[in-house]
Chain A
Amino acid sequence: MNAILEAASLTKRYHDFTLGDISLEIPGGCIVAFFGPIGAGKTTLMKLLAHQIPASTGAVRVFGLSYDDREREIKNRIGYVPQEPSFYADRSVGFNARFAAPFFERWDGGAFYRILDEFKISREKPVKHLSRGQKTLFSIALALSHEADLLILDEPTAGLDIVLRRTILDRLRQFVSDGERTVVVASHITDGLEEIAEYVNFLDEGKLVFRSEKDELLARWKRVHFREGALSPDLIRQFTDVRVQPFGSSGLIRDFSAVREQLAAGIAAGDVKVENARLDEILIAMLKGE
């Protein structure tokens, strides 16, 4: 795996929260998602990866370079979209863009204004009059306008309507389509991101509790629908998130391959149906420790 972003023993300590000992490698040319409940440490991790805050211990390397001595070079190749974007609030969108532009070596003003128009954000409007979602869109426009090789986004779809959410997800998919560029995205909701992410990470209480390729995860976790009496009680006890419904029940199974043979007869008889579990179901089951 050719890692584009590496973190080694990354820790951030606050007086009431610690993001602990995170080591990870993120490959190039894909979308990597970090999920977790609110307060799990996703924003802290994104800030550490984008060098927005200093780490208490550990190090981050991006494109094989260290922020310690190559910060400017790395940030020229990164687009960072924070959860709560901060600009010169009293000034217009255009002013903020003109302020930011000279810092980037490969700024594309035409692309920036095209994206801004696509998002229907007026360049004359003061930033303080933008909604939270519009500020995020403005931040995304900035991140996409300097030919970045890596996007780090924190809750990019929060506060957006369904049309804009789809637009952003399509943009992200398009961004990685050349197989060279990478997206790292954190969110507390899987909605939409589960379709485009190739790798899934799960954070809880400041710990990285789980990492997997999404397809591998979906191949293992299945939701099994079954008629009353079609499965043995022992088998049903292996299920999590069991839902009893009038015309049949369902449950999540953690390792489908281990029970495939036990389900075969039921599947053949039409009493059992197996479908892919949704990512949010899997994450909730993991969060509950089931």
Chain B
Amino acid sequence: MFAIARKTSFFYFTHLVTFCAPAWPALLKGKGGIISMLAFWVPLWLSSSVLWSEKQESYALLRMLPVTDREIVRTKFGLALAAAFVYWLILLLFNWWAWESSWEYPFYRALANLTCAVSLPLVACWYIVSWRFGRSALTVGVLAFIALAIIPTFALNIDRWDWIGAPGIAAARWLAEGPWYLQFCIFLIVLAAYYGLMQVAVRVKQKSEASL
């Protein structure tokens, strides 16, 4: 399993590096800036990580080896979970650095919690799409998702990014103003959903030949 994890984690790691890279100048120069947008990038970066790792995967080879589909799925889902956790830690760190003294800090923390939480079922769905319909379907899906998320951001004034992410911002504000355990409950619900999707993914992987 370590061999699969090591190979797949390369893509998560390289994406993580590119995710963090634009934030450093903003952090070094002062507060805010691009840090405000970073949380919205997590679903995109994780989706892209899945896409690239799946494009490079050889499931036909793995089928020849003494490893079960259940083990493969658990490894992939475990890695995605670990990656989401690292993104969440980084977001917390960056936001704490940028906004710690600001009254907006709870909002940014809630936003980080929310986007990382949303990313997990999203990533699970991408894996299911890949294993059920093949890599072509995954490529189309992820690229369409990224385009839908990025193009309007650039098409509109970058200053109005909060308008683009309005639903997410409203949800984050609601969470930030709510009791502390609300975010904890969401975290548990997302984990349960992720686990459920992992079981679905195991069955899909076992039954489908689309990824071979």
Contacts and interface: CB of A to CB of B under 8 A. Distances in A.
A100 B61 contact: yes
B61 A87 contact: yes
Interface in B187-207: 206-207
Contacts of B148: none
A105 interface: yes
B60 interface: yes
In the complex, which range does the number of interface residues on chain A fall in? 20 to 34
Contact of A99 (B3, B56, B68, B212): B3
B64 interface: yes
B60 A103 contact: no
Contact of B68 (A53, A72, A82, A88): A72
Nearest to A72: B66
Interface in A60-90: 71-73, 75-76, 80, 82, 86-90
Contacts of A80: 64
Nearest to B2: A102
B206 A54 contact: yes
B67 A103 contact: yes
B3 A103 contact: yes
Given A52-B212, A53-B212, A99-B7, A71 B68 contact: yes
Given A53-B209, A54-B207, A102 B60 contact: no
B65 A52 contact: no
Contacts of B67: 72, 75, 103
B66 A82 contact: no
B58 interface: yes
A119 interface: no
A104 B64 contact: no
Contacts of B64: 50, 52, 75, 80, 82, 100, 142
Contacts of A54: 206-207, 209
Contacts of A18: none
Nearest to A105: B66
Contacts of A52: 60, 63-64, 212
Interface in A139-190: 142
Nearest to A14: B209
B65 A82 contact: no
A246 B7 CA distance: 67
Given A102-B3, A103-B65, A104-B66, A82 B60 contact: yes
A149 to B, nearest CB: 13
Contacts of B3: 99, 102-103
Given A73-B66, A86-B212, 12 more contacts: A53-B209, A71-B66, A72-B66, A72-B68, A80-B64, A87-B58, A89-B58, A96-B61, A102-B2, A102-B3, A103-B65, A103-B66
27 contacts: A50-B64, A52-B63, A52-B64, A52-B212, A53-B212, A54-B206, A54-B209, A71-B68, A72-B66, A72-B67, A72-B71, A75-B64, A75-B66, A75-B67, A76-B66, A86-B60, A86-B61, A87-B58, A88-B56, A88-B58, A89-B58, A99-B3, A100-B65, A102-B2, A103-B66, A104-B66, A105-B66
